Amino acid sequence: MKDSGVEWLGEIPAHWDVKRVKLLSSVRRGASPRPIDDPIYFDDEGEYAWVRIADVTASDRYLTKTTQRLSDTGKARSVPLEPGELFLSIAGSVGKPIITQIKCCIHDGFVYFERLSEDREFLYYIFSGGELYKGLGKLGTQLNLNTETVGNISIPLPPLHEQRAIAAYLDRETARIDSLIGETEALNVLLREKRVALISRAVTKGLDAGAEMKESGVEWLGEIPKGWEVKPLYTVTSAADKRDPSQEPDTHFRYIDVSSISSEQHQITAFEELMGYDAPTRARNVVFEGDTIFATVRPYLRNIALIPIELHDSICSTGYCVLRAERIKLESRYLFYSCISAGFVASVVAHQQGVSYPAVSDRVVRRQVFPLPPLHEQRVIASYLDRETAKIDALIAKNDELIALLREKRSALISAAVTGKIAIPHVDDDKSLPHFGGGI
Q: Does residue 245 sit in the same domain as residue 118?
A: no
Residue 151 lies in a domain: yes
The helix (H) or strand (E) run that includes residue 388 is helix 375-418
To the question of pTM greater than 0.85 for the whole model, the response is no
Residue 429 lies in a domain: no
How high is the pLDDT of residue 13? Answer: 93
Q: Does residue 251 sit in the same domain as residue 335?
A: yes
| Residue where one domain finishes, among candidates 345, 372, 399 | 372
User: Which CATH number fits the domain that encloses residue 281?
Assistant: 3.90.220.20
- Contact (Cβ atoms closer than 8 angstroms) between residue 204 and residue 343: yes
How many CB atoms are closer than 10 A to CB 342?
Answer: 16
How high is the pLDDT of residue 264? Answer: 85
Structural domain of 358: 229-372
| Residue where one domain finishes, among candidates 357, 372, 387 | 372
Residue 316 lies in a domain: yes
The pLDDT averaged over each successive group of 10 residues in the chain (440 residues) is 89 93 92 80 88 87 91 90 93 90 93 90 90 74 82 93 94 95 97 95 94 93 94 93 93 94 90 94 95 95 95 95 95 96 95 91 95 96 97 96 96 92 66 37
Distance, in Å, from the CA atom of 202 to the CA atom of 389, rounded to the nearest integer, reads 12
Distance, in Å, from the CA atom of 214 to the CA atom of 152, rounded to the nearest integer, reads 75
Q: Does residue 26 sit in the same domain as residue 152?
A: yes
Distance of CA 156 to the CA centre of its chain: 32
Number of structural domains (the chain) is: 2
Residue 184 lies in a domain: no
| Residue where one domain finishes, among candidates 156, 187, 208 | 156
Length of the chain in terms of residues written: 440
- Contact (Cβ atoms closer than 8 angstroms) between residue 103 and residue 123: no
- Considering Cα of 134, then 140, then 145, then 149, what sign does the dihedral take? positive
